[in-house]
Amino acid sequence: MDEKQVLERYRTRLVGRFHRLFDEWFDARRGIETVRNVDAAHLADVVDLTGYEGDEELYAGTPCLLFEALHSPLSDMERASTTYIDVGCGKGRMLIQAVEAGFSNVVGVEFAKPLAEQARLNLNAALPNADGTWRIDEADARTYDYPDGPLAVFLYNPFDPPVFRAFLSNLLKGLAERPRELRLVYNHTLCADLLDAEPAFERLSYTPLQRAYARLMNPHPFGAWRYVGAA
């Protein structure tokens, strides 16, 4: 391992510890729990993992401090009329931040019932005065029927390539049937090549400052795309 790799490993560890401290503060302030990761093995007895066999970790939350930087390509969307959807929402951390950021219609899509239940508990505790602004749909992203109207979709590496292809096919089918504005923010972009190869999507740009901050604070690659319609 060369010097550059050693420094990057230490940077990643340091940033990870900083994020954990801030995420624990985020939870404590709201009386919720979103920090602990959940391994697939812990839910294998109560969740049908067919099609998700390659996913060792069912839940890991996106650090709170990354929300604004990752979502900056959505800054010109009208948040009052846009539905924010976290596909694979886990315990609901991004949903809480989306409501606090001004989205008035927020949806979590989660196929694992224990995580969906935890998300509901967290949002009820964190957002006691936000009735009607959010909901959790227990559903499979490969067949989910997306709401009408403009959409902002968030992903934090919820799928391996086979499931991602099915998710993308279903999303495009719905958009072809009911065209509307859609932007997609994707953190930990292991399947970015599938989006880049799809003519119906084009990448969105981050400003140099936004990208520098996200790269410094984020151990994973990230990106944003816009739906431009079928070719």
Residues 60-97: tens digit of each pLDDT: 899 999 999 999 999 889 999 999 999 999 999 999 99
Domains of the chain: 3-227 (3.40.50.150)
Report d(CA 128, CA 121) in Å as an integer.
Answer: 11
Report which DSSP code applies to 80.
T
pLDDT in tens, 165-189: 999 999 999 999 999 999 999 999 9
Q: What's residue 45's pLDDT?
A: 57
Any long-range contacts for 41-45 (C-beta under 8 Å, 24+ apart)? 43/112, 43/114, 43/115
Measured CA to CA, the distance from residue 52 to residue 175 in angstroms comes to: 25
Confidence (pTM)? 0.91
